Amino acid sequence: MKTAVLEKFKELFGDTDGVSVYFAPGRVNLIGEHTDYNGGHVFPCALTIGTYAAARKRTDRKLHFYSMNFEKLGIIESSLEDLTPSAEAGWTNYPKGVIWAFAGRGMAMDCGLDIVISGNIPNGSGLSSSASLEVLTGYLLRDQYGFDVTNIDLAQIGQYSENHFNGMNCGIMDQFASAMGRKDHAIFLDTADLSYEYAPLKLQGAKIIVTNSNVKHSLVNSAYNERRSECEKALEELRTVIDIHGLGDMSEEQFEAHKSAIRSEIRQKRAKHAVYENRRTIRAVEALKADNIGLFGELMNASHVSLRDDYEVSCDEIDILVEEAWKIDGVIGSRITGGGFGGCTVSIVSDGAVDRFRTEVGAAYRRRTGKTADFYVVEIGDGPAKL
């Protein structure tokens, strides 16, 4: 990948003198979905797949973007005077949003950039290609311009730009996982205060398999923002009867005692998911620490049921992938991962069942949907880097 982006950079911009190459990973979330904007816990890990960039400063204020994943679009030109979101800007709204967010923090670039991007995260898969691109942009800006920011700052800037530049009201999880990844560890993150710990993923005799439904989603145009507003309204109603900062503050018992304050059955279901999913995530990490991988898998399965029934962010294709996974001996747990409405499932599968999992789930998915699923045995990697 490094060689490929350098060769493309030379082809487009003449040479590679002074060019640097950077990487930021995608992520998969093992459990704790739609809890990050509700003040709850999440448990993601960075992947070894992600987004690469070759970048070099210019002597003027122009910005030149090129993606090897969208070659037909050619070089997209902008400038430091044109940091506004637009439909015409397409994928470049993500790096432009980060540049805009840096400038808003008093870190304005004094000259433009030529950037060539290439990623090996399947587009629309729910493995956070957008967060990876945001963290990558922030990381290379820090290196190229000497900005004084930490990796946690990069995560927060990426989230801020996606919220306020791209109009996607996401939580912090995706950017945090990309910015703070550690090889062979997942991140147990409390999104209420950004306290976190690294938990070794000791999956002796098992693999993490991500299954791509190849059903594309665009969260900006989906019900994602609607779910967040439903939870915010439910929180507002609950605060009339209990002193809480976020839904993540509540136990299941507290929720059941006070849920009648939520004056909508739909909002009750959304809030129930946020509360119960947060508690599942805490218990899942405790189970992992106790080497109880069986309980971890049971909690993953319960997470999917909640996302399907209470939060309603799954879809037929994803449900079929999970149902077929649950039928196979050696599947420890399987659930939807990511924002939903398509994308991927994440499964923990015993080594001896991996081949059968791919064969049988793939065949059943084709038979029931007419679509083809892709399977990735993923490795857990580090955060962003200059290569």
Cβ-contact 59, 38 below 8 angstroms: no
Composition of the chain by helix, strand, coil, percent to 5: 45, 20, 35
Q: Please give the C-alpha separations between residue 370 and each of 214, 314, 323, 334, in angstroms, as whole numbers.
A: 11, 18, 16, 21
Distance CA 384, CA 362 (A): 33
Cβ-contact 304, 280 below 8 angstroms: no
174 is catalytic: yes
Selected catalytic residue, list 36, 114, 174, 190: 174
DSSP string over 167-199 = -----SHHHHHHHH--TTEEEEEETTTTEEEEE
Beta bridge partners of 345: 211, 336
Closest of 308, 247, 309 to residue 279, by C-alpha? 247
CA 153, distance to chain mean position in Å, is 17
Q: Please give the C-alpha separations between residue 311 and each of 25, 35, 230, in angstroms, as whole numbers.
A: 27, 11, 10
Beta bridge partners of 44: 29
DSSP string over 248-314 = GG--HHHHHHHGGGS--HHHHHHHHHHHHHHHHHHHHHHHHHTT-HHHHHHHHHHHHHHHHHTS---
Here the tokens at position 213 are 């439904």
Residues 6+ apart with CB under 8 A from 265: none
Here the tokens at position 238 are 């609950």
> What's the number of CA atoms in the CB half-sphere (13 Å) around residue 387?
18
Distance CA 114, CA 48 (A): 25
Q: Which residues are catalytic?
A: 174
